[in-house]
Amino acid sequence: MIDPRLITLRVFARCGTIGATAELTGYSPSAVSAQLRELQRVLGMQLLTKDGRGLRLTATGRFLVAGSDPLIAQWENLRAAAMDAGDQVQSRFGLGGFSSAAAQLLAPLAATLRSTRPLLEVQVLEAEPARCFDLLIAERIDLAVIVAMQSDSYGEDDPRFEQRVLLDDPLDVIIPGDHPLASRQTATLEELASEPWITEAAGSTYHSLFTAAFTAVGVTPRIAHEAVEWETHIAFVGAGLGVGLLPRLAPLHGAENVVRLRITGQTKPTRRIVAAVRRGSIASPLIQESLGILQVNANRILTDRLNEDL
Amino acid sequence: MIDPRLITLRVFARCGTIGATAELTGYSPSAVSAQLRELQRVLGMQLLTKDGRGLRLTATGRFLVAGSDPLIAQWENLRAAAMDAGDQVQSRFGLGGFSSAAAQLLAPLAATLRSTRPLLEVQVLEAEPARCFDLLIAERIDLAVIVAMQSDSYGEDDPRFEQRVLLDDPLDVIIPGDHPLASRQTATLEELASEPWITEAAGSTYHSLFTAAFTAVGVTPRIAHEAVEWETHIAFVGAGLGVGLLPRLAPLHGAENVVRLRITGQTKPTRRIVAAVRRGSIASPLIQESLGILQVNANRILTDRLNEDL
DNA sequence: ATCAATCATGCATCTATTCTGCATGGTTAT
DNA sequence: ATAACCATGCAGAATAGATGCATGATTGAT
Q: Using one digit for the tens of pLDDT, what is the confidence trace for B200-209?
A: 876 666 787 8
* Shortest distance, CA A82 to any CA of chain B (angstroms): 6
Residue B8 CA to D14 C1' — how many Å? 21
What mean pLDDT comes out for the span A257-263?
93
Closest residue of chain B to A45, computed from CA coordinates: B88
Q: Using the predicted structure, report yes or no on whether residue A81 has a pLDDT greater than 70.
A: yes
pLDDT band at A282 (very low <50, low <70, confident <90, very high): very high
Q: How far does the CA of A106 sit from the C1' of C1, in Å?
A: 55
Express each pLDDT in B16-73 by its tens digit: 999 999 999 999 999 999 999 999 999 999 999 999 899 999 999 999 999 999 999 9
In a mutational test of the A interface, the residue from B75, B84, B87, B139 whose CB has the highest number of chain A CBs within 10 Å is B75
Distance CA B58, CA B71 (A): 20
User: What domains can be seen in chain B, in order of their start residue?
Assistant: 1-88 (1.10.10.10), 169-270 (3.40.190.10)
What's the pLDDT tens digit per position in A149-181? 655 566 778 999 999 999 999 999 999 999 999
Q: Cα dihedral angle (B182, B184, B185, B190), rounded to 10 degrees?
A: -90
If DSSP codes are grouped into helix, strand and coil, which group holds residue B153? coil
Residue B8 confidence (pLDDT) above 80: yes
- Count CB atoms within 10 A of the CB of residue A41: 10
Q: Which amino acid is present at B28? A: S
**In which element (H, E) is residue B93 found?**
strand B92-97
- A274 by Cβ neighbours in 10 Å (0-12 / 13-18 / 19+) ranks as buried
Q: Average the pLDDT over B270-284 and give the result.
A: 94
- CB neighbour class for A68 (10 Å; exposed up to 12, middle 13-18, buried from 19): buried
Smallest CA–CA separation between B291 and chain A, in Å?
20
Judged by CB atoms closer than 8 Å, whether chains meet at B46 and A86 is answered as: yes
Q: What is the mean pLDDT of residues B146-174?
A: 84
pLDDT tens digit string along B214-238?
Answer: 888 888 888 888 888 888 889 899 9
Residues B281-310, mean pLDDT to the nearest whole number: 91
Per-residue pLDDT, averaged over A25-44, amounts to 94
Q: At what angle do helices B29-43 and B18-25 cross, to 10 degrees?
A: 100
Sign of the CA dihedral running A89, A95, A101, A104: positive
Q: What is the pLDDT of residue B310?
A: 66
Q: Which long-range contacts (CB under 8 A, 24 or more apart) does B49-55 make?
A: B54/B16, B54/B17, B54/B18, B55/B12, B55/B16, B55/B17, B55/B18
Give the C-alpha separation, A128 to A230, whole Å: 14
Q: How close, in Å, is residue B74 to chain A by CA atoms?
A: 7
Q: How confident is the model at residue A141 (pLDDT cuts 50, 70, 90)?
A: very high
Query: What residues in chain B have their Cβ under 8 A from chain A's Cβ atoms?
Result: 1-3, 6, 41, 43-46, 58-60, 63-64, 67-68, 70-71, 74-75, 78-79, 81-83, 85-86, 88-91
Residue nearest to nucleotide D5 (CA to C1'): B53
Residues 15-34 of B with CB under 7 A from strand D: 16-19, 29-30, 33
Interchain contact, A43 vs B68, CB within 8 Å: no
What are residue A59's phi and psi, to 5 degrees?
-60, -40
Specify the pLDDT at position B261. 94
> Once rounded to an integer, what is the mean pLDDT over residues A269-280?
93
